[in-house]
Amino acid sequence: MKVLVAVKRVVDYNVKVRPKSDGTGVDLNNVKMAINPFCEIAIEEAVRLKEKGVVTEIVAVSIGAKVCQEQIRTALALGADRGILVETDVEVQPLAIAKLLKAVVDKEEPKMVILGKQAIDGDNNQTGQMLAALTGMSQGTFASEVVVEGDTVTVTREVDSGSQVVKLNLPAVVTTDLRLNEPRYASLPNIMKAKKKPLDTMTPEDLGVDVTPRVTTLKVEPPAERQAGIKVADVAELVDKLKNEAKVI
């Protein structure tokens, strides 16, 4: 079966981001960019399913500026077979991304779409659920285990109370949580091979999708700083402070 994997270009997770001093946005000048970690897990899962013989073709899709090709190439180096870039310079928001992905799904007709549960820049945690709604697919969000059997997929989900197992009819949308797998590193030969894999480019207009933002960011600012307190000398002083100063025990 064919699997579609969505990948997003984000600030590398090791970078400590800062708002610009005028509050208009986050300072992205000379910042290292990378594939969103949850998307990397999504690719890895697709590749593992292919290695098991469950999946026959992996299509990696990214939406954004031309530079997002880099993240698609990374996905191709990790084992995706071909790439699709939906190129736009508009700030695409989750609903618009879901609509674009739906248009790609309509063309490609994959049996499963795997996405990260959220991107580490916007922290929205919406796109997979929205795509599932628009396509009428079932959804297995925050997945820690994915087992495909015939026309169904059984997904173990990380939920607040522990874990929940659901059985979904295919086609389905799966969003990945951290413990689903540990992504591999791309080998040099595979990075070279990835350069030759096909990568199609299309635009939101080609797909007939209106990507006008619905939400406007008015301002960004650093969070309120928490003041460091004091160091206590020993346990006795700690207990005294908690009882008599903070009055919390």
Partner 1 sequence: MSILILAEHDNASIKGATLNTVAAAKAIGGDITVLVAGEACGAAAEAAAKIEGVSKVLVADNAAYGHQLAENVSLLVAELGKDYAYILAPATTNGKNTLPRAAALLDVAQISEIISVESADTFKRPIYAGNVIATVQSSDAIKVITVRTTAFDAVAAEGGSASVEAVASAHDAGNSSYVREEVAKSDRPELTAASIVVSGGRGMQNGDNFAMLYSLADKLGAAVGASRAAVDAGFVPNDMQVGQTGKIVAPGLYIAVGISGAIQHLAGMKDSKVIVAINKDEDAPIFQVADYGLVADLFDAVPELDSSL
In the window 211-240, what residues touch partner 1 (CB under 8 A)?
A: 214-223, 226, 228-232, 234-236, 238-239
Among 12, 122, 202, 207, binds partner 1 (CB under 8 A): 122
Instruction: Please tell me what DSSP assigns to residue 245.
Output: I
Give the Å distances, CA to CA, from 144 to 8, 16, 27: 20, 27, 33
Strand pairing partners for 153?
148, 168
CA distance 171 to 168: 8
The H or E element containing residue 157 is strand 152-159
CB 96, CB 213: distance < 8 Å: yes
Per CB under 8 A, 46 contacts partner 1: no
Smallest distance, Å, CB 182 to partner 1?
Answer: 10
Instruction: Please tell me what DSSP assigns to residue 65.
Output: S
Among 2, 124, 184, 186, binds partner 1 (CB under 8 A): 124
Per CB under 8 A, 97 contacts partner 1: no
Q: Which residues contact 45 (CB under 8 A, 6 or more apart)?
A: 114, 143, 146, 174, 176, 180, 181
How many chain residues touch partner 1 (CB under 8 A)? 75
Please list every residue from 66 through 95 that binds partner 1, using CB under 8 A. 93-95
CA distance 100 to 211: 8
Nearer to partner 1, 53 or 229 (CB): 229
Among 21, 29, 30, 161, binds partner 1 (CB under 8 A): 161
Among 74, 139, 176, 181, binds partner 1 (CB under 8 A): 139
Nearer to partner 1, 65 or 165 (CB): 165
Smallest distance, Å, CB 35 to partner 1?
Answer: 16
Per CB under 8 A, 1 contacts partner 1: no
Per CB under 8 A, 28 contacts partner 1: no
Per CB under 8 A, 190 contacts partner 1: no
Per CB under 8 A, 32 contacts partner 1: no
CB 141, CB 175: distance < 8 Å: yes
In degrees and rounded to multiples of 5, residue 16 shows phi and psi of: -90, 110
